[in-house]
Amino acid sequence: MLSTRLSNTQVTFPKDNLHVGGVEHRSVHNRYGLDYHQATADGLYRRGYQTHGPDGDRPFVLSRAFFPGTQRVGPIWTGDNFAKWDHLQMSVPMLLTISMAGLPFSGADVAGFFGNPEPELMVRWNQLAVFYPFFRGHAHLESPRREPYLFAEPYASHLRNAIRSRYALLPYMYTLFRHANITGVPLLRPLWYEFPDNKDTFDLDTQLMLGPSMLISPVMTPGATSIDVLLPRASRWYDANTGAEVERSSSWLSSGGDKQKVQVTLDSIPVYYRGGSVVPRRERPRRAANMMLDDPVTLVVALDANNQASGDLYLDDGHSFAFKRGEYLHRSFTFNGGQLQSTPAPTATNTPPGSLQLPTVTVERIVFMGLPKKGAFQAKLPSGQVVDLEFEPISVVAPRAASAHVMRKPDLPISQDWTVEIYPKQ
């Protein structure tokens, strides 16, 4: 009788096996997953204090089951998927829903858990997944090996460039995690979250925002040479691969829509910086994130229609709980009236002010997007030195045509206040 009752299509306890108050088991099934997750994390949390001292060590415990409260424990992923194009497509609405439900640290198995991804699918999935909060290649034990270096050219180079772009974005993503930790705001956001007045965004689940500053439009069909991209006209937009501002054609604007057809190649997917943003990056290739802690920072300044921009950068030691007692650095960057300023970020409620000093970390490159293309510009540094801005590619990770005004080697201390003045060259 027992075996008969358990072999049901619910793959859980039978519907008539009720909990106190008449609650069906399927409503609390994943509570076990949460408790298991929590108990494991708690054990590692306690061991961290015993092993590493008073600041402990942050546990990383990944779970496939989640329940209300899981966001306080650790990351989750969407479960066993397949190396199929439609499963790549499904990852976007799934992760957007999970993020909006309050679990900011989530991802999907890159290139599918089951099956053998064709090279194009492998490339396209990685190009999207570098923007997942949780980025992991994961496959079944019996699936063929699929490490990026096993693929022939040009696929191996495309995969390498995608992964390097993830490392370059870590300062921005880590800062977004800080905001999620303090306020619960998601990293991945549907476009309507940022543009609630634009009705065209309400049912759009093929694009996503990473924080407030970056828009991603993945390529999710095989052999695609172009895709439709919606860029809300409320903002200026800059191609994150080239730095070029998106030109709004008269036919596009007169049609009443915000969509345009964008040509795509296998080397990248359409990604855009939103005007009004300052995005921190670290562009020196490293084999692991912990080798980047002392690397210099690049600031990408994308100007809005009023030639203004703002953003921030959060840094700590990356592994302990010392940030709880103020061992962190949090800086705000604002560009207004031709001046780029670095000041302390406002301290969150019930949080000690940041006291971490990083004297060896500097801003080594500032990229200005949105200044007049034909103009020549200079910058006056805090020391009084005047330097020219060069018109060159926006990134050293995967350089392309010159498209932005770049200040090289200002060597501005990341831990201190400073002001840089930008003005046309006489």
Position 7 pLDDT exceeds 80: no
How far is Cα of residue 321 from the mean position of the Cα atoms in its chain?
22
Position 402 pLDDT exceeds 80: no
Pinpoint the alpha helices (H) of 147-233. 155-183, 191-194
Position 3 pLDDT exceeds 90: no
More confident residue, 62 or 247: 62
Position 251 pLDDT exceeds 50: no
What domain count does the chain have?
3
Residue 364 and residue 283 in one domain: yes
Q: What's the token pair of residue 69?
A: 């409260």
Segments forming the whole domain that contains residue 393: 277-424
- Whole-number average pLDDT of the chain: 91
Q: Which of 74, 94, 120 is the last residue of a domain?
A: 74
Over residues 281-305, mean pLDDT: 93
Model pTM?
Answer: 0.92
Residue 210 lies inside a defined structural domain of this protein: yes
Residue 393: closest CA among 401, 383, 385: 401
Q: What is the CATH number of the domain that holds 201?
A: 2.60.40.1180
- Report yes or no: 190 and 209 within 8 Å, Cβ to Cβ: yes
Q: Which positions ≥6 away from 94 have C-beta within 8 Å?
A: 78, 108
Burial of 374-408, coded b for 16+ CB within 10 Å and e otherwise, reads eeebebbbeeeeeeebebbbbbebbeeebbbbbbe
Q: Which of 254, 274, 294 is the last residue of a domain?
A: 274
Position 92 pLDDT exceeds 80: yes
Residue 241 and residue 323 in one domain: no
Position 4 pLDDT exceeds 50: no
Cis preceding linkage at 154, omega within 30: yes
277 pLDDT band (50/70/90 cuts)?
Answer: very high
CA dihedral defined by 265, 113, 109, 216, rounded to 10 degrees? 20
Q: List the end-to-end C-alpha distance of the chain, in Å, as a whole number.
A: 90
The CA distances from residue 344 to 187, 297, 307, 350, 417, in Å, are: 22, 16, 22, 17, 7
Position 254 pLDDT exceeds 50: no
Residue 34 lies inside a defined structural domain of this protein: yes
Residue 171: closest CA among 364, 353, 371: 364
Position 401 pLDDT exceeds 90: no
pLDDT score at 69: 92
Residue 324 and residue 295 in one domain: yes
Residue 172 lies inside a defined structural domain of this protein: no
Rounded CA-CA distance 413/418 in Å is: 8
Residue 281 and residue 420 in one domain: yes
Tens-place pLDDT, residues 197-238 = 999 999 999 999 999 999 999 999 999 999 999 999 999 999
CA dihedral defined by 139, 175, 192, 90, rounded to 10 degrees? 0
pLDDT score at 360: 94
Q: Which positions ≥6 away from 136 have C-beta within 8 Å?
A: 77, 107, 109, 110
Tens-place pLDDT, residues 336-375 = 999 999 999 999 888 899 999 999 999 999 999 999 877 7
- Report yes or no: 187 and 177 within 8 Å, Cβ to Cβ: yes
Over residues 324-335, mean pLDDT: 96
Q: Which of 54, 74, 94 is the last residue of a domain?
A: 74
